[in-house]
C-alpha cells in the first residue's frame, strides 16, 4: 500500500478511494472486449486510470521539482487536470446526450456528479495554471486535490456501471454503440497527437492493453517520434519512458 510519506496522510491512501480504484481496475484489466458494448466501459475505465495516475504523479512531484524546471512541472500538472476537464466536456457533449435519448435518465447521476465537483476542479485548475515557481505551494495544491479526490474517484468508478455492456446492448445496436465510442474518442482526442499519445501511454503501466494501438506505435513511434515536442514534461509522468526522477510509488 501507499507507505511513502507523501501519500500516507493523503486521500490517495484512503481505503474508500482505493476501493473505487480497484473497481475501475477490474473493468479495465481484462482483454479488450470484442463487442462495441463491451469496449465502451473498458476504454472508459482505462481513461479513468489515466486521471488517477496522472493526478497521483502531479501530487507526488509537487514538492520535488528540480531547480529551474518549474515550467515543465507546471505544464504537466496543468495538463493532468485539464485531461479530466476535457474528458467531462467530451462526455457531456457527445456521450451523455445520445445515451439519454436512448435510455432516458441513465446519465442523470453522472451529470450530477460532474456538477458536484466542477467548482473546486475549476479552482484547482486556475491555481495551477496561474502558478509561478515563486507562488506555487505544494501543500496548497495537494490540499485542493485531496479535497476533491474522493468525489472524483467515486464518480469515475460509478460511471462505469452506467455504461455497462448489458445496459447499452439492451437499447442500442452494435453500430450505434460503435458510433458513440468513436464520437467520444474524437471529442476527447484533441488535435495534438504529440501530447495525447505520450501522455496516455506514460500514465499507464507498461505493457497494458490500452490504448489499443499496434505495439510499434507505443514502443517505437511514441518514445522515438512523438516524444520530443513535450520532452521536458514526461519526467513527471507515473510511468516515464526515460526516468530521471525518484519514481512515483505504485499502489
Ligand atoms: Fe468518464
Ligand atoms: Fe464522467
Ligand 2 center to 128 CA (angstroms): 22
Q: Rounded to the nearest 10 degrees, how much is the dihedral formed by the CA atoms of 29, 39, 225, 90?
A: -110
Mean pLDDT of 173-189: 92
Ligand 2 center to 45 CA (angstroms): 11
Distance of CA 150 to the CA centre of its chain: 15
Alpha carbon distance 148, 138 (integer Å): 16
pLDDT tens per residue, range 98-157: 999 999 999 999 999 999 999 999 999 999 999 999 999 999 999 999 999 999 999 999
Ligand 1 center to 116 CA (angstroms): 15
Count how many residues are written for the chain: 251
| Residues 6+ positions from 37 with CB-CB distance below 8 Å | 165, 166, 168, 169, 172, 174, 177
Provide the pLDDT for residue 20: 98
CB-proximal residues (5 Å) to ion ligand 1: 44, 159
Ligand 1 center to 160 CA (angstroms): 8
Give the three cell numbers for residue 240. 516515464
Ligand 2 center to 101 CA (angstroms): 17
Domains and CATH numbers, the chain: 5-193 (1.20.120)
pTM for the predicted model, two decimal places? 0.96
Proportion of the chain in helix, strand, coil states, percent, rounded to 5: 70, 0, 30
Do residues 159 and 110 lie in contact, with contact meaning Cβ atoms separated by under 8 Å?
Answer: yes
Look-up of cell digits 474518442: 185
Provide the pLDDT for residue 68: 97
Ligand 2 center to 38 CA (angstroms): 17
Amino acid at each position: 500500500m501507499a507507505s511513502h510519506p507523501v501519500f500516507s496522510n493523503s486521500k490517495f491512501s484512503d481505503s474508500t478511494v482505493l476501493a473505487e480504484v480497484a473497481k475501475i481496475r477490474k473493468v479495465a484489466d481484462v482483454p479488450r472486449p470484442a463487442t462495441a458494448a463491451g469496449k465502451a466501459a473498458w476504454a472508459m475505465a482505462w481513461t479513468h486510470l489515466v486521471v488517477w495516475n496522472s493526478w497521483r504523479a502531479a501530487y507526488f512531484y509537487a514538492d520535488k521539482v528540480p531547480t529551474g524546471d518549474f515550467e515543465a512541472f507546471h505544464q504537466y500538472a496543468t495538463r493532468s487536470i485539464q485531461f479530466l476537464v476535457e474528458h467531462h466536456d467530451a462526455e457531456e457533449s457527445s456521450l451523455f446526450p445520445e445515451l439519454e435519448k436512448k435510455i432516458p435518465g441513465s446519465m442523470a447521476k453522472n451529470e450530477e456528479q460532474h456538477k458536484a465537483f466542477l467548482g473546486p476542479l475549476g479552482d484547482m485548475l486556475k491555481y495551477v495554471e496561474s502558478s509561478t515557481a515563486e507562488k506555487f505551494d505544494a501543500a496548497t495544491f495537494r490540499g485542493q486535490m485531496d479535497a476533491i479526490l474522493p468525489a472524483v474517484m467515486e464518480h469515475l468508478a460509478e460511471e462505469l456501471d452506467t455504461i455497462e455492456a448489458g445496459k447499452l446492448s439492451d437499447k442500442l445496436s452494435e453500430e450505434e454503440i460503435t458510433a458513440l465510442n468513436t464520437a467520444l474518442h474524437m471529442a476527447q482526442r484533441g488535435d495534438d497527437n504529440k501530447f495525447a499519445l505520450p501522455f496516455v501511454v506514460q500514465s499507464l503501466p507498461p505493457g497494458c492493453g490500452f490504448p489499443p494501438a499496434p505495439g510499434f506505435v507505443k514502443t517505437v513511434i511514441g518514445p522515438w517520434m512523438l516524444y520530443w515536442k513535450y520532452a521536458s514534461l514526461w519526467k513527471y509522468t507515473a510511468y516515464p519512458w526515460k526516468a530521471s526522477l525518484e519514481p512515483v510509488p505504485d499502489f
